[in-house]
């Protein structure tokens, strides 16, 4: 029997999957380099050695080291936003939505602490050019989407009335503080075990007088 013929669409799919694997390998290697040396201190040479990719492959997929850093940050935050919004969507009560936000935040950190640490570091940076611009725009869209889920409960008097931009920080603030301390090794605890206490505190803080 002769070899089966691979049609053009299959060839494209194989090439696409190979490219995506190479891209993922580069991003994973870059994450480790950035965590070890910082974005400024890391080099393309370090990323190439860690990923075992050629310079040509790296520059074919990414225009520069900063573009790799930007891609890691933006894709990581987009995935976080998508997880939170999907979790909120599944809940019918406002208390359930608040708990879903906190549970999803903590679970994401516990499941991938290395990426979470990177996102935290860059998210707290004063400025990182295009990262700051893209993150600001995407974050504004995310906060607006969260607000649309909370708006009906505010209108019905189930939540206190605050300026729109305060709701998400009020829900996630203590959770974010705990997460950052945990990521830096300043506290040792079971992050997921803190979910209910943090959710109850957030719920109470948003109750009308």
Q: What is the pLDDT of residues 136-188, one digit of tens each?
A: 778 899 999 999 999 999 999 999 999 999 999 999 999 999 999 999 999 98
Q: Rg of the chain's alpha carbons, rounded to an integer?
A: 21
pTM, rounded to two decimals: 0.86
- Residue 120 · residue 180 · CB < 8 Å: yes
Q: Three-state secondary structure along 21-38?
A: HHHHHHHHHHHHHHHHHH
Alpha carbon separation from 147 to 35, 98, 151, 162, 207 (Å, rounded): 33, 12, 6, 11, 16
Alpha carbon separation from 190 to 98, 182, 193 (Å, rounded): 20, 9, 5
Q: What is the pLDDT of residues 99-142, one digit of tens each?
A: 999 999 999 999 999 999 999 988 776 555 655 666 777 889 99
């Amino acid at each position: 029997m002769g070899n089966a013929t691979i049609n053009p669409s299959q060839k494209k799919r194989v090439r696409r999957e190979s490219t995506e694997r190479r891209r993922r390998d580069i991003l994973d290697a870059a994450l480790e380099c950035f965590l070890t040396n910082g974005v400024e201190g890391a080099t393309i040479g370090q990323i190439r050695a860690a990923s075992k990719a050629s310079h040509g492959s790296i520059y074919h997929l990414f225009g520069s080291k900063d573009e790799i850093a930007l891609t890691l940050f933006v894709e990581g935050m987009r995935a976080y936003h998508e997880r939170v919004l999907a979790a909120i969507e599944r809940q019918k009560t406002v208390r359930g939505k608040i708990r879903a936000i906190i549970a999803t935040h903590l679970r994401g950190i516990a499941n991938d602490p290395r990426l979470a640490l990177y996102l935290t570091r860059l998210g707290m940076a004063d400025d990182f050019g295009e990262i700051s611009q893209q993150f600001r725009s995407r974050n504004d869209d995310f906060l607006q989407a969260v607000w649309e889920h909370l708006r009906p409960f505010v209108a019905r008097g189930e939540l206190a009335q605050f300026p729109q931009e305060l709701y998400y920080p009020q829900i996630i603030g203590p959770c974010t503080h705990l997460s950052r301390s945990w990521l830096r090794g300043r506290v040792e605890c079971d992050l997921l075990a803190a979910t209910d206490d943090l959710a109850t505190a957030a719920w109470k803080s948003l109750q009308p007088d």
